[in-house]
Structure 1
Amino acid sequence: MDSEHFDFVVIGGGSAGYAAARTARETKNKVAIIDDGAELGGLCILRGCMPSKTLIYSAEVLHLAHEAEKFGLKIPTATADMAAIHQRKLVTIEDFASYRREQLESERFHLIRDRATFIAEKTLLLAKSGKHITADHFMIATGSVVNTPDVPGLAETPHWTSDDVLDLDFLPESVIVLGGGIVACELAQFLNRVGSKVIQIQRSPLILKETSPDAAKVVEQAFRDEEIELHTDTQLVSVEKDGEAFVVHFTQNGKAQQARAAHLFNALGRKPNTSGLGLAAAGVETRPNGQIMVNHFQQTSNSRIYAAGDVSGPFEIVHIAIIQGEVAAKHARGESPDPVNYNTRTGVVFTDPQVATAGISLAEAAERGLDVVVADYPFDDHGKSILMEAKYGYVKAWADRSTGKLIGAECVGKDAGELIHSMAVALSLGATPADLLKVHWYHPTLSEIWSYPLEDLADEL
C-alpha cells in the first residue's frame, strides 16, 4: 500500500487548521493539510462570519434609511436589491477566500484534496487515492456542520440552512426561522430588515441563551419592535410541507399553534464535524455532545493527535480557534506555550442591538464563589447614543472585590462589538476600575459610557 510520512498533518483548512499548519511550518519542513471541501477557506470565510456580516451590514444601512424621519431626513423609498446584495457579498468574500487559497496552495504546505479517516492511532487512509498517511503529530480541525434535531418531519421536509440563507439572491416573501441562537437571530433580523415576513420559533424561554437573560430581553424587545413574530418557550411538535407552504406545529403555554410561511430555515444549531473520521480507531475520545476532548494544549486522548476550533470547543469563535491551533502546533514541536486564557475571552452577537462580552460572566463568577461588585448604565441616558437614536441596551462591568480587578463586562447596544474591546484590553492587562478612570474618555462618544459604571465600581471597591 502506498504511504507517505509527514512531520505534522492537519485535517481541515479553516481558521484553526491553517493557524496550526502555519505555526508548525515555522520549524517543520513537511507539513500537510488535508481538506475535501468543495471550496478552500473554511467556515468563517465561506459560510460564516464574513458573508453573514457583509449581508447584515447591508441590512443595517437599509434599516437606517427606513428610520430616516427620526433624523429629520426624507428618503421616499429604500428597498433591498437582493441580487446586488448577493453580488457584493460574493465579491467581498472572494477577496478573503482567494488569499486563504493562495496560502493553502503555496509551496510551504503539501495540500491534499481528499477525505481522511483514521485507521490506526497514527495512520490515516485517504478515501480517493487509497493512500496511507502517517505523521509525528496530527491536528483535527474539521469544524462543525448544521444540526438537524429529531423533530418529526424536519429531516424529511426540504428546508434551508444558514448556507442557503447566506446565498440568497431573491427576497423571500416569508420565512419561518427555527431556533434562537446566534446564527438564528442574526439571520432572522437580516431577513426581516430586507423585507421578508419573519416568524421565529425558539424552544427556550429566551432567545440567545448563550448570553445573559438581561441581554436577551433587550434583543427580544428590539425584534418585536421591528415586527418579527417571535415565539419563545415553545415545544416543536412537527414540520410539514402543505402545498407551496411550510407549516410548523408547536405548543406554547399549553396551547397548540402553527406557523405557515413560504420558506423554512433550520437554525437549530451546529454540531462537531467528526463523522467518518474514525476517531475510535485513533483512540480519540469525545464528549456526549460530540466535541473532541482536549487538554490545555489541545491534545486529545491520543497524545499524537490535537484538535482545535468548533470540533473541540468550548467556544465556536474564530479568534479562539486560531489561538488554539497555534498553541497545539507549538506544543507538538516541543514547546510549552501558554494555554488559551478563556478568562479574558471576548464574544459578539451581530444583532442590532449587538451583544458583546469580555471576561467571565456573572454566572461563572457565582459558580466560582467570587465576591463580585457590579455596575451598569443605560444607553437611553447617554448623550451620543441619544443623538444616534441608539437607545436600546446598556453597559455593565463587574470586578472581584478581593483583588479590585475587573473580571467581566457586557455591552448591549449600538456598535457593542467595537465598544467591548476597551474592556477586553483592560481585563487582559489586569486593570482596576480606578486604573481605567485615568483614561481620557472623550465626549461625546459612545465609548465614554463605560466611565459611568467604572465610577460606581471604583466607589464601591
Structure 2
Amino acid sequence: MSSDYDAIVIGAGQAGPSLAGRLTAAGMKVAIVERHLFGGTCVNTGCMPTKTLVASAYAAHLARRSAEYGVAIEAPVGIDMKRVRARADTVSTNAREGVEKWLRGIDGVTVIQGHARFEGPGVVRVGESVLKAPRIFINVGGRANVPDMPGVGTVDYLTNTSILKLQTVPRHLVVVGGSYIGLEFAQMYRRFGAEVTVVEMAPRLIAREDEDVSEAVRDILSDEGIAVRTSATCIGFKPHADGVAVNVDCTSGEPVVVGSHVLLAVGRRPNTDDLGLDKAGVAVDSRGYIEVDDGLSTNVPGIWAMGDCNGRGAFTHTAYNDYEIVAANLLDGDDRRVSDRISAYALYIDPPLGRVGLSETEAKQTGHKLLVSKRPMTRVGRAVEKGETKGFMKVIADAETKEILGAAILGVSGDETIHGILDMMNAGVTYPVLQWAVPIHPTVSELIPTVLGDLKPIA
C-alpha cells in the first residue's frame, strides 16, 4: 500500500510533533511515524522522569537537614522507592499521552506507529505501507552508548533508561562516567540511601567545564559521601558474588570497586543505524550522526534532521530550537541558523550548574583580552537565607567589546538565574547595560550586576 503526503516526520520527540502542527497549519498533508514512545527522550527517559526523581531525592535530603531549619522530623528518613518510581512514571505517562492525544487530534496529520526505513530519497517504508513525500524530517533522537569495555558483556548493567525501572535502592551503585547524566543519578541515589562510587576515566569530572567548576562539583558530591574515582585508566567488569567488580586502576585508592549495581553513563549515540539512510543517500559522520548544514538540511535535498540525531545539540531545548529554525526558514521565509544559537545548558545536581556561552578556558583560546569576575555563593544573601551556600557565580567578558562571552552559576537556582545573562547575550547588548539593571531583592539574580561590576582583567 502506497500513500502520498506533503511531508513525513520520522520521530515524535521534541521537534517532530510541533513541526507537524506547523506544517498542517500551512495546509500540508503530514504523516508522523513513531516506532516506540511519543514524546521522545525528554518525556520518557530523560528530563521529566529524572527531574521528578531529583525532586524526590531533594525532599529526602532536606528532610534529613530539617533540624537546621528548626523543624523536627523523626529519624531515619525512609524512602519508598516504589512510590518514588510511581511518581516519576505518572509524570512521564501524562506527558506522553498528552503528546499522542494532541497529535491524533490535529486535522491533516496521520499518526503511524511502526519502524520507518528509507527506500529512497523521498520514500519511507513502515511495515507494509510505503509513504512518499517531497519533504522528510528526521527526529529520531538517541540512546545510551555502551562502549566495548573489557567484560561489559559478562555482567548486568544499567543505563539511564533501565535504571528508571528500579523499585529498590541499590546497596552500592557504581556509576561509570563522571559527566552530566552520571552525576545526577549519583547524587540522586546517594540521597535515596545508596552507597555510591563515581568512576571517571578523565583526570576530573565534567571535563568540558572549567577546572574550578569541576572541583567544586566534586566537593559537593564528596561532602554527601559519594566516592569519586578519577583517572580510572583501566575500566573493566567481572561478575562478583556481591554484584559486579569494576576494575578502576586509578593512581590512588583500591584498584577494584564492587557494586551491587553498575550504571553506564558514558555518552549517547544517535538512533540512525537502522533507518536505511544509505538507501536515501543521507550522509552520516563516523559516530552515526546525520550531517546537516546551518539550516539543518542534509546533503539530500528535501531531507532535514532535527534533535539529538544530528549532533548539533544534545538537549530538549536545542531540539525544539531545531524545529523553530526549520519552520521559520521553510514557512516564514526567514534565514535562521544553528550557528546563531548561543550554547546554554544545566547540570541538575543540587545545587545546579547553569552554563551559557564560553567557559573561561574556551574564552582564553580566542586570544581576546578578557575580563572575569567570580563570587562565592556564601556572599549571596538568598543562598545564605536558604542555607544553601555551596558553589559560585562566574562571568567572562571581552575587555574591548564589553560583550558577555559566557557564565557559570553553580549554586542554588543557578539553572534559573543563568537566564538573565543568556537573555542579554541573545539581545546582543554589552555587560554595562545589565550592570545597571535593578533586580529584585532578595534573589540570586540580584547579584549578577554586582558580579559584573567586579569584572577584572585576567592575569
**Bucket of the pairwise TM-score, normalised by the shorter protein:** over 0.9
| Segment of structure 1 superposing worse, 324-333 or 8-17 | 324-333
Q: In the alignment, which residue of structure 1 is the partner of 2:124?
A: 124
Distance, in Å, in 2 between the alignment partners of 1:353 and 1:206 is 19
Q: In the alignment, which residue of structure 2 is the partner of 1:387?
A: 385
1:332 Cα deviation from its structure 2 partner: 4.0
- 183, 186, 198: which one aligns with 1:185: 183
Q: In the alignment, which residue of structure 2 is the partner of 1:26?
A: 25
Structure 2 CA distance for partners of 1:454 and 1:334, relative to 1, 3 Å: closer
Secondary structure at 1:222 match in 2? helix
- Map 1:17-416 to 2 at 5 A: 17-37=16-36, 39-77=37-75, 78-108=77-107, 109-126=109-126, 128-129=127-128, 131-253=129-251, 257-333=255-331, 335-340=333-338, 342-416=340-414
| Segment of structure 1 superposing worse, 414-423 or 450-459 | 450-459
Contact conserved, 2:329 with 2:336, CA < 8 A, in 1?
no
1:414 Cα deviation from its structure 2 partner: 1.1
Query: One-letter code of the match for 1:313?
Result: G
Q: In the alignment, which residue of structure 2 is the partner of 1:428?
A: 426
Secondary structure at 1:417 match in 2? helix
Distance, in Å, in 2 between the alignment partners of 1:372 and 1:26 is 47
Distance, in Å, in 2 between the alignment partners of 1:413 and 1:318 is 22
Query: One-letter code of the match for 1:362?
Result: E
1:229 Cα deviation from its structure 2 partner: 1.2
Structure 2 CA distance for partners of 1:257 and 1:95, relative to 1, 3 Å: same
Distance, in Å, in 1 between the alignment partners of 2:175 and 2:406 is 32
1:264 Cα deviation from its structure 2 partner: 1.4
- Residue-by-residue CA offset, 1:143-169 (whole Å, 9 max, x unaligned): 001111010111332211111222222
Structure 2 CA distance for partners of 1:334 and 1:156, relative to 1, 3 Å: farther
Q: RMSD of aligned C-alpha atoms?
A: 2.0
Secondary structure at 1:25 match in 2? helix
Distance, in Å, in 2 between the alignment partners of 1:375 and 1:311 is 36
Secondary structure at 2:446 match in 1? helix
> Where do 5+ consecutive residues of structure 1 fail to align?
none
Distance, in Å, in 2 between the alignment partners of 1:178 and 1:73 is 37
Distance, in Å, in 1 between the alignment partners of 2:347 and 2:235 is 29
- Residue-by-residue CA offset, 1:151-206 (whole Å, 9 max, x unaligned): 01113322111112222222222211111121101011101001011111111111
Structure 2 CA distance for partners of 1:26 and 1:426, relative to 1, 3 Å: same
Contact conserved, 1:7 with 1:28, CA < 8 A, in 2?
no
TM-score (norm 1): 0.94
- Residue-by-residue CA offset, 1:398-442 (whole Å, 9 max, x unaligned): 222232122221101112111111111111112322211332233
Secondary structure at 1:358 match in 2? strand
Distance, in Å, in 2 between the alignment partners of 1:237 and 1:171 is 24
- Residue-by-residue CA offset, 1:13-63 (whole Å, 9 max, x unaligned): 0002223222222214211111111x3221101110000000101111111
| Segment of structure 1 superposing worse, 254-263 or 419-428 | 254-263
Distance, in Å, in 2 between the alignment partners of 1:100 and 1:208 is 33
Distance, in Å, in 2 between the alignment partners of 1:303 and 1:291 is 18
Q: Across the two proteins, how many residue pairs are aligned to each other?
A: 456
Distance, in Å, in 1 between the alignment partners of 2:210 and 2:307 is 23
Query: One-letter code of the match for 1:116?
Result: A
Distance, in Å, in 1 between the alignment partners of 2:192 and 2:412 is 19
Query: One-letter code of the match for 1:79?
Result: G
Secondary structure at 1:236 match in 2? coil
